[in-house]
A and B are shown apart, each in its own frame.
Chain A
Amino acid sequence: MTKYLLTLLVFGFQLSFGQGNILIKNGNILTITKGNLQSTDIYIENGKIAKIGKNLIVPEGTQTMDATGLFVMPGIIDAHSHIAIDAVNEATNPNTAEVNVGDALNPFDVSIYRALAGGVTISHAMHGSANAIGGQCETIKHRYGVLNPEELRMTGAPRTIKFALGENPIRVHGEGNKIAPATRMGVEQVFRQAFSEGRLYAKRWEDYNKGITKNTPNYNLRLETIADILKGDIIIHCHSYRADEILMLMKVLKDFGIKKICFQHVNEGFKVAPELAEFGASASVFSDWWAYKFEVYYSTAYNAAILTKNGVVTSINSDSDELIRHLYHEAAKTQRYGNLTDDEALSLITINPAIQLGIEDRVGSLEVGKDGDIAIFEKHPLSIYTTPHMTIVDGSIRFDSKNDNPDMRISIDPEEKYTSNFEEKTGFKEDNCLQDVTEYLLQSDYASYLRFVYSKNHTH
């Protein structure tokens, strides 16, 4: 089957949309919400988990995967990424609530496959942080192999939108274009103005629809979106670092009666954890990434643990097409920095991000009725020695370490220059460890030995 899948991938034919049947036999099951089950089977039917139990009887001919000795957990969810989209920032205006990265999904982005290779089955493809009010985001399923961008969408997932505080919107608009916001105060003003206008806009249409006014109002997609936030139809995901600004935004939201907010990055979240918990805000953080700009210096690796212990629904995200490959390691760091339990640590990359995206009733744990999104690991996923074994989305195998083709790009421009994954990531053609040495060695008896070593180990 996997060979078949790879052939399809290689030649760009359409894979089925998903909804597969598969039996995962005899694994160590980490349900996240209902404890761990030893030597247990999971049966996925039409893309949903149909049964969990020992020695399950399933229809004859069902594809079976022997998970003896392996660890089976729900597919990892990344609440902050920018993969699989062709546009990240519509950076021309401080408020672009009307744009939606879901309009620019790109199923050919090989980053989707690399995320699958780290057990990640769902990511939150987000607008960037150039604008105080950025665009709407899209929760996608990593169905790598589909050709229609629509088939990446997790249909039915709630709408989300990107907000941004601090240096980024100030730099882009204040410093770049000499318009507001040029200060942190200005950023607040963008929100207040947008919400006030959005409220008036909604009122204008309401009056028109009720027949109170006769002139048809202008249609404004930006204010339409803001009005939907005010109605509670859209979850805000806000790029943030400093505690004072986090408190500021919560105050603004309170003033306008908005409740759904997840703070992203939130490096100083540990300072205002009780306040976040009281508001009902959630937090999506890095395990230990900081100091890449001035406002991100005051940080700690204990952030996730402190937030968790204060009752804030917390997740660990990647915001990177590289970090997304090893979110399980990122989660494990909270055991070193904060002594979180296995379930607490794994919740940071499963059920908690699911809650933040409003999809916890469908994914994030292994329960009958939930989607068949599974990550299977060789060792316990929080062990530093573990490696991803197989990743399943809606019951379809989308990654299999035993059939991991060196080049997994689907769509290729025939006029494109060949670039290795390594070069794409580093800018270097090859790694430089053996620069100059190799040329010398090639003249010597080591040449054949080197050829052998290289073909074994360096197939990136």
Chain B
Amino acid sequence: MNSGKRLYFRGGLNRFTYVCVFLLFLYQNYVNAQNSDKPKEVTNTFFLQNVNVIPQPGKILSGYNVVIKNGLIENIGKGISAPYNAKKIKADSMFVYAGFIDCFSHTGVPKTESKDQPKITDPGNPPNDIAGITPQKSVLETYKSSDKSIGDHRSSGFTMVNAAPRGYMLPGQSSLFQLSEAEADLAVVKRDFGMMMQFSNSRNVYPSTVIGIIAKFRELYKNSEILGSTNEEYNSNPVGINRPVFKKEEWALYPVTQKKQPLFFVASSSNQVYRAIQLQKELGFRLILTDVKKGWVIIDDLKKQNVEILLSLDLPEEKKSSKKDSVKTNVKDSVFINMEERGFEEKRQRALEEHFKQAASFEKAGLSFGFSLLSSKPEDVLKNIKKMVKYGLSEKKALEALTTYPAGLFGVLSQTGTVEKGKMANLVISDKPIFEEKSSVKYVFVEGTIFDYSQTKPTKSEKTNKDTSAISGIWSFSVNTGEEEQTGTIDITLTDAGYKIVVTPEDDAQNPETGFDIEIKDNTLTFAITTEEEGQAVTFLFNVEIKGNSFSGNVSAKELGNFIITGEKVPNPKHFNSRI
């Protein structure tokens, strides 16, 4: 928009008008910088003076100048001067890295609104799209440059993402995008690069469990192979055989069976990793273990496997010490010191550290890896990388995982992944070495477009903070199912990442469920929880209106119907289960 204006005012205008317009333009940019990271396109040439360039992991060039022009790194060197039309970026003594690459996530893919799905009469034989089997779908259909997640991840230094469609078992094919503001078809760098697979079921239809998903995958895979070979046979000599039936799901999976398209297999736990590896051994596709969270337990086995690995950038939260203290001060608990609990707590602490140390232990074992942002919160990403470094991951390896490893994985190392003359100007600039605890990202370049964070104050959503007192807290609830009264508590807290909701049924207090798809509008709160019964997932949608210290509304589950829910705020929440 701005750049368009600029072009119109070229020439013909008197000097005064030009200056006025230019001042107005600068003001506009100033306002923009205050409000967002919107790019300012005064010029497409930029100059970084006296910066520390990290050309590739493990190297540093201090006191260098960098020229960025027309989307590319035009020049890097000592004593190069700024081109006449270059905008000088206030980056003196800052640190310049190659832009980070998110190896796998749903960045740029908006969450689909949960529409009423068609009623399934026979859950054992659902249509493939209802069953979550849509390998033919390309993320290009759903990627939106306006999605908030793009800006969020860019502000952490990410300039590229391998984004996959959302869905269940086989949601579709992922593509590598520039995290620019361009539409999908312009931002895409590698089209339909990989296929996504996960042990995640579509609600209440076949396959509804991990065993169903694995069986279905085997069958689909075999039929895809059969279709491919039948097609070849038919093409060479169709006489006497029927024309192959091109079922879209089977045909879409064929490149995976031919190892022409890798399978990004979401495998967080060690059990899931082993299941993915077992399927790979059996069927023979190119496996990329994705969003691995508990990989350290099986490092020795992974070393033997020769698979590609993407570690999750999600880390468990450390337990707040205050909660522990409140437990300790409870007289009864302090008397009945429980050996079992003590053992458990020791293991929990140990497990927490193991999570933080995962990347470091992979490095120690000589394994290469990239990072996936599939399940991490945008605001935690840099914090978590720093934590991994604090827990022993070398800065060199961290940078490799964010730049050169993914660039190699996606086959774009000649275009990006390092800071070199002639490569894409995908850069991240921080005030201190980026893995240092107090560093912050000041500028990000995505293919030569600058995103300025130097003015941005640390964000804290003041707006939402205000109305916390009304909604936050523990609420009791009661649902009348017609046959019985279901009661329990709903615990609502505001965290940095937004609201967190935990629903604890009274008759099943040891299995609290965490709410998702949380939305608060005026006084209306909507969210969903998924419970599991005999391996079957049931999703309940809550829709309640809050009036002062009570609420009313309804809870619905597709299979079970609609029920009325009422509740009240618990005045002084206590540990209701500290009974002896």
Contacts and interface: CB of A to CB of B under 8 A. Distances in A.
B211 A104 contact: yes
Interface string A72-103: 00000000000000111111111010111101
A19 to B, nearest CB: 18
Interface residues of A, number: 77
B271 to A, nearest CB: 6
B183 interface: no
A244 interface: no
B396 interface: no
A87 B211 contact: yes
Interface stretch (A49-57, A62-70, A321-329, A433-441): A433-441
A361 interface: no
A210 interface: no
Contacts of B518: none
Given A92-B204, A150-B278, A219-B226, A87 B215 contact: no
Q: Is the interface of B mostly helix, strand, loop or mixed?
A: helix
Interface stretch (A7-15, A257-265, A350-358, A366-374): A7-15
B339 to A, nearest CB: 4
Interface stretch (B36-44, B292-300, B416-424): B292-300
Contacts of B483: none
B332 A96 contact: no
B210 A447 contact: no
A79 B219 CA distance: 29
Contact of A90 (B206, B218, B335): B206
B347 interface: yes
A215 interface: yes
Contacts of A175: none
B226 A218 contact: yes
B128 interface: no
A407 B343 contact: yes
B242 A215 contact: yes
A458 to B, nearest CB: 7
Contact of B352 (A93, A147, A414, A423): A414
B317 interface: yes
A179 B278 CA distance: 35
B53 to A, nearest CB: 38
Contact of B316 (A407, A414, A430, A459): A414
A411 interface: yes
A30 to B, nearest CB: 33
A206 B355 CA distance: 52
By secondary structure, the A interface counts as loop
B530 interface: no
Contacts of B240: 214
Given A150-B278, A412-B351, A98 B215 contact: yes
Contact of B211 (A135, A421, A439): A135
A12 B354 CA distance: 10
A155 to B, nearest CB: 14
A421 B204 CA distance: 30
B510 A419 contact: yes
B325 interface: no
A189 to B, nearest CB: 15
Contacts, number: 207
Contacts of B347: 10, 407, 409, 412
Contacts of B206: 90, 92-93, 96
Contacts of A447: 335
Given A147-B297, A149-B275, A451-B335, A416 B210 contact: no
A278 interface: no
A98 B124 CA distance: 13
B535 A148 contact: no
Contacts of B200: none
Contact residue range for chain B? 35 or more
A411 B269 CA distance: 10
A293 interface: no
B209 interface: yes
Nearest to A448: B335
Contacts of A88: 534-535
Contact of A421 (B270, B300, B340, B512): B340
A147 B219 contact: no
B331 A442 contact: yes
B211 A128 contact: no
Given A90-B207, A438-B332, A454-B335, A149 B579 contact: no
25 contacts: A14-B297, A86-B210, A87-B209, A87-B210, A90-B212, A90-B535, A91-B534, A93-B123, A93-B124, A99-B209, A100-B211, A103-B211, A150-B278, A216-B230, A218-B226, A219-B222, A219-B223, A221-B215, A409-B344, A411-B270, A414-B319, A415-B319, A418-B345, A420-B340, A424-B510
Interface of A: 10-12, 14, 86-94, 96, 98-101, 103-108, 127-128, 130, 135, 147-150, 177-179, 214-216, 218-221, 405-407, 409, 411-421, 423-424, 427-430, 432, 434-435, 438-439, 442, 447, 450-451, 454-455, 458-460
Given A428-B579, A430-B336, 17 more contacts: A87-B212, A87-B535, A89-B535, A91-B535, A94-B124, A98-B219, A99-B209, A100-B215, A177-B121, A177-B123, A178-B121, A219-B223, A221-B215, A411-B351, A415-B317, A427-B508, A432-B579
Give the top 4 A-B pairs by smallest Cβ distance, nearest first.
A93-B124, A407-B343, A87-B209, A92-B206
Interface of B: 121-125, 204-212, 214-215, 218-219, 222-223, 226, 229-230, 240-242, 270-271, 274-275, 278, 294, 297-298, 300-301, 316-317, 319, 331-332, 335-352, 354-355, 507-510, 512, 534-536, 577-580
